[in-house]
């Protein structure tokens, strides 16, 4: 087959679909004919297009997960934990996440395969664990789509209007599905643009926040006023522990870069670890600094925050902070940024679910129908199912939308915890397998900065947070023990347990843990000539040593 000469160019959404087609017929055909044929099943083994660019990968790593967890969920965390509790909670989760991402960087550099998390778990731990983690991650993303759409409906309420917010939900729903039908080019460009907008907005907010705190507006000097009254902590240690799961949710999606490994246009050995390195800057600048400034501007006892009896759920703590300074127009502009962030996460949700369910189907852990990849490289059945589940977003038309938001957010946050724990476990098992088979670390194109110790820290932290969350779910802050509250906060653990035990019983393989000496350490590698790889890496290091100091500094930092 001969590819069209236009495939490498970036056109608009409709041309992107058409240009990925292959054709042997030189006779001109209509646009409609090409479009219709693009949805036909891809012949042979289904393959996703490797068209994601370096700039897209880096922006996905830097800002893909900035959404409702930070802009809206940060308000509920501030309400229950106070400014001090928020900083401690996010700091703990940030260190935990950095260890997880370093483990992931090493794994995707070695094995850039589709649906990496589930595939790694089945291959290096246990097929039943791979089934549980894979479906858990798929459910996480398929739930996130309606969650972000509900959050967008709540955000739209910031502007008084006679138009029912559900109308906007319908518009956003159609937009997200169309973007994903444009393939990974549409997804990559949408993520790139939204990431730039989010990053510029957060940097701008941080500069403005410093000005407001120092008394540069009509609100006067604020300083550390709210750290003295009402104080840094809302509910003591229990409040801080309650913040942990919100922090996990706000950083959820960071691991999405691992799913892009098989669709990267360049060499995953170099590009993915470099992209993942940017996670450190996201954590420090866009979370820790930003949340510290929010804590100076908004007291935890504000009746506008999410979770209070009279709160308006459409108002994020960022908008509240700007409003409290008496600045006109800017709150509306920032609310638009919040809306863009929510829609970007919704876009990622369809991508994440469709790629994960495809990987599960390829492993025989999901119905084979999900292996349907069309000629444009789109996993159509996964996109279709995500679209159907996304219809849950229309619950925003009911008065119980805040309750639904809380349920979906708690479920998603705990699902992320299991995913991160699995990444750490997989890395640890992979290193153990290499040692058992007498393989040297010089066969690895990238070594995690945190090493095996980081994987252990990630795994232990996962267990500790799960135990603490169990306690908080049994005895919630400010409330008596309640079965509804417990299952609302701990439903994710129940789902994983049911999947794991159910697969064990169905497969009748109660002890199927992969033996270290039998691990397949090579299938899926792009580089099997280890001697050549070592020479290439050594040449790259020598070139870097001979380069200018600022280039060396840039390489270390980015």
Q: Of 68, 63, 78, which is closest to residue 412 (Cα–Cα)?
A: 68
- CB 284 within 8 Å of CB 91: no
Mark out the alpha helices in 214-301 (DSSP H runs): 225-228, 236-250, 268-277, 279-281, 290-297
In angstroms, the CA 104 to CA 111 distance is 10
Among the listed residues 193, 190, 197, 146, the one whose alpha carbon sits nearest the alpha carbon of residue 335: 197
User: In sequence order, what are the residues at sequence separation of 6 or more whose Cβ sits closer than 8 angstroms to the Cβ of residue 140?
Assistant: 252, 352, 411, 412, 415, 416, 419
Provide the residue ranges of all domains of the chain, joining segments of one domain with +.
Answer: 50-527
Tokens of 78: 């501030």
- Residue 354: name the closest of 169, 189, 144 by CA: 144
* Measured distance CA(414)–CA(174) in Å, rounded: 28
CA 419/CA 109 separation, integer angstroms: 18
User: Which CATH fold would you assign to the domain 50-527?
Assistant: Amino acid/polyamine transporter I (1.20.1740)
Task: Evaluate if pTM is beyond 0.75.
Answer: yes
What are the pLDDT tens digits along the chain (558 aa)? 444 433 343 434 444 444 444 444 455 556 777 777 777 887 767 677 777 777 887 787 777 778 777 887 788 889 899 999 999 999 999 999 999 999 998 998 888 876 677 789 989 999 999 999 999 888 888 888 888 887 787 778 778 776 777 888 899 999 999 998 888 778 888 888 998 898 898 999 999 999 999 988 877 888 889 998 898 998 888 889 989 888 888 888 888 877 776 677 666 667 777 777 777 777 887 888 999 999 999 999 888 886 543 344 455 788 888 888 888 888 888 888 888 888 888 888 898 899 889 888 988 889 999 999 888 888 899 999 999 989 888 876 677 766 766 666 666 657 888 999 999 999 999 999 999 999 988 888 888 989 999 999 999 999 999 999 899 888 887 778 888 778 777 888 888 899 999 999 998 888 889 999 999 998 878 776 677 777 877 887 777 788 887 777 766 665
Residue 367 neighbours by CB under 8 Å, 6+ apart: 361
Tally of CB atoms within 10 A around 98: 20
d(CA 429, CA 133): 16
Answer whether 414's CB lies under 8 Å from 493's CB: yes
């Amino acid at each position: 087959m001969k590819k069209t000469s236009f495939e490498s160019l970036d056109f608009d959404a409709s041309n992107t679909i058409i240009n990925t087609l292959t054709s042997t017929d030189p006779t001109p055909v209509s646009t409609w004919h090409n479009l219709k044929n693009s949805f036909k099943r891809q012949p042979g083994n289904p393959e996703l297009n490797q068209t994601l660019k370096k700039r897209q990968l880096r922006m996905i790593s830097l800002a893909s997960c900035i959404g409702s967890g930070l802009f809206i969920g940060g308000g509920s965390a501030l309400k229950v934990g106070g400014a001090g509790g928020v900083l401690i909670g996010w700091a703990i989760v940030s260190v935990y996440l950095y260890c997880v991402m370093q483990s992931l960087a090493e794994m995707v550099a070695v094995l850039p395969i589709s649906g990496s998390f589930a595939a790694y778990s089945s291959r290096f731990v246990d097929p039943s664990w791979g089934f549980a983690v894979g479906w858990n991650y798929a459910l996480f993303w398929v739930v996130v789509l309606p969650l972000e759409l509900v959050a967008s409906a709540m955000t739209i309420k910031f502007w008084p209007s006679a138009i029912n917010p559900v109308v906007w939900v319908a518009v956003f729903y159609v937009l997200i599905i169309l973007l994903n039908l444009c393939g990974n080019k549409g997804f990559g460009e949408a993520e790139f643009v939204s990431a730039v907008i989010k990053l510029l907005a957060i940097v701008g907010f941080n500069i403005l926040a410093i000005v407001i705190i120092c008394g540069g507006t009509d609100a006067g000097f604020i300083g550390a006023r709210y750290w003295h009254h009402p104080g840094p902590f809302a509910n003591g240690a229990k409040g801080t522990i309650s913040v942990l799961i919100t922090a996990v949710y706000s950083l959820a999606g960071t691991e999405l870069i691992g799913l892009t490994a098989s669709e990267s246009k360049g060499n995953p050995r170099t590009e993915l670890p470099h992209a993942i390195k940017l996670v450190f800057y996201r954590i420090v600048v866009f979370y820790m600094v930003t949340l510290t400034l929010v804590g100076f501007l908004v007291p935890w006892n504000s009746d506008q925050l999410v979770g209070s009896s009279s709160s308006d759920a459409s108002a994020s703590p960022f908008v509240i902070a700007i409003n409290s300074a008496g600045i006109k127009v800017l709150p509306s502009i920032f609310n638009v940024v919040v809306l863009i962030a929510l829609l970007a996460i919704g876009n990622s949700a369809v991508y994440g679910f469709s790629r994960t369910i495809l990987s599960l189907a390829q492993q025989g852990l999901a119905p084979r129908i999900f292996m349907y990849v069309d000629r444009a490289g789109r996993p159509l059945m996964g996109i279709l199912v995500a679209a159907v589940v996304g219809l849950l977003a229309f619950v925003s038309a009911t008065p119980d939308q805040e309750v639904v938001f809380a349920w979906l957010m708690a479920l998603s946050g705990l699902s992320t915890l299991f995913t991160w724990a699995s990444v750490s476990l997989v890395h640890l098992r992979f290193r153990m397998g290499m040692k058992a088979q007498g393989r040297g670390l010089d066969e690895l194109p990238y070594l995690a900065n945190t090493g095996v110790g980081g994987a252990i820290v990630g795994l232990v932290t996962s267990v500790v947070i799960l135990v603490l969350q169990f306690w908080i779910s049994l005895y919630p802050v400010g409330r008596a023990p309640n079965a509804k509250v417990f299952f609302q906060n701990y439903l994710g653990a129940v789902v994983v347990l049911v999947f794991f035990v159910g697969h064990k019983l169905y497969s009748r393989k109660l002890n199927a843990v992969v033996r270290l000496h039998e691990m397949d350490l090579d299938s899926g590698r792009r580089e099997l000539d280890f001697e050549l790889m070592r020479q290439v890496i050594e040449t790259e290091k020598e070139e870097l040593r001979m380069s200018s100091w600022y280039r060396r500094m840039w390489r270390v930092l980015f």
